[in-house]
Copies of this chain bind each other. A is one copy, B any other.
Amino acid sequence: MFIITRMSARSMASKTPVGFIGLGNMGSPMAKNLLKNGYPVIATDVFPESRKELQELGAQVVDSPAEVAEKADRIITMLPSSPNVIEVYTGPNGILKKVKKGTLLIDSSTIDPAVSKEMAVAAEKMGAVFMDAPVSGGVGAASMAKLTFMVGGVEEEYNAAQELLTCMGANVVYCGQVGTGQAAKICNNMLLAIGMIGTAETMNLGIRLGLDPKLLAKILNMSSGRCWSSDTYNPVPGVMEGVPSANNYQGGFGTTLMAKDLGLAQNTATNTKTPIPLGSLAHQIYRVMCSRGYANKDFSSVFQFLREEEGQ
């Protein structure tokens, strides 16, 4: 059920081309890792400048998703949001216009699992197979092939997907039927957001009550308040090194991105009639932060958002 592997050596000779659509901050280093692993890559992107860099590294660049589908029977997509995915798969020049029977389609975008399911149905009608495989990890992890992929789709196709994904990531986790990759990512990020805001407000309260922040973090981390945000990514400046809070909340995972993922959590929860009181409030807090100047800071900056002293 839980398969984590790392690619071993392969010979260039045996490799058939892989299509790659979406050469942004994440997609570009991912496609490069396919090249490094000896896969011929057929790529496209709406922005010509994004295509150019990959072309210079040896990828064949074409004009549309449909053309990619004509030339490759394994295609990876990495796009910003649901509407882009719908366009790239089902639009007038979309993959499904030209897809060959038996093609394996892997979408690494983070989108609503309901859209993943729709794409899977549409792909199946054309005789193709669609899997969702969103990633955990940022641009750095993408460059170093250290991403984690959470994969949903037909189990028989999982091995084929895994072969490609291990070129780009350190962990590949099979989650179940199509859409469950998205579900796993959304769930993790929702709990992460709750833990982060909870840690921020708890640390702030403790400091105001006279506790030393490092000592408080130690106590929490040896107790039942422990969480990833308290022990690995503490939001209070001075408590840990090498985390965004030690660097004025630069880098890391931006508040805007967290707000986007919480929006997906909210939508899926609403659509499945699932109450998520804390996830919902976390969403609202990150939404307000985006409009108060925190959009591009790391999401641990919620500590800063909550702590400032009242003026006088």
Binding site for B on A (CB under 8 A): 1-2, 113, 136, 148, 150, 171, 173, 175-177, 179-180, 182-184, 186-192, 194-195, 197-199, 201-206, 208-212, 215-216, 218-220, 222-230, 232-233, 256, 259, 263, 265-285, 287-288, 290-293, 295-296, 305-312
**B281→A220 contact, CB < 8 A:** no
- Which residues on B sit within 8 Å (CB–CB) of A276? 201-202, 204-205, 284
Give the dominant DSSP class at A's interface.
helix
**A198→B279 contact, CB < 8 A:** yes
Copies of this chain in its oligomeric complex: 4
A211 touches which of B180, B287, B308, B311 (Cβ 8 Å): B180
Pick 22 A–B contacts, CB within 8 A, sort by A: A1-B215, A2-B215, A173-B219, A176-B210, A183-B206, A183-B211, A184-B206, A184-B216, A187-B202, A187-B219, A187-B225, A190-B205, A191-B225, A191-B227, A195-B225, A195-B227, A198-B278, A224-B232, A263-B271, A277-B281, A280-B280, A295-B311
- Which residues on B sit within 8 Å (CB–CB) of A180? 209-211
- Which residues on B sit within 8 Å (CB–CB) of A228? 223-227
- Which residues on B sit within 8 Å (CB–CB) of A259? 273
Q: What residue in chain B is nearest A183 (Cβ atoms)?
A: B209
C-alpha spacing A222/B232, complex, angstroms: 13
- Output the least CB separation between A168 and chain B (Å): 17
- Which residues on B sit within 8 Å (CB–CB) of A272? 205, 208-209
- Output the least CB separation between A81 and chain B (Å): 11
Q: What residue in chain B is nearest A310 (Cβ atoms)?
A: B290
Q: What residue in chain B is nearest A198 (Cβ atoms)?
A: B194
C-alpha spacing A229/B198, complex, angstroms: 13
**A309→B291 contact, CB < 8 A:** yes
C-alpha spacing A189/B225, complex, angstroms: 6
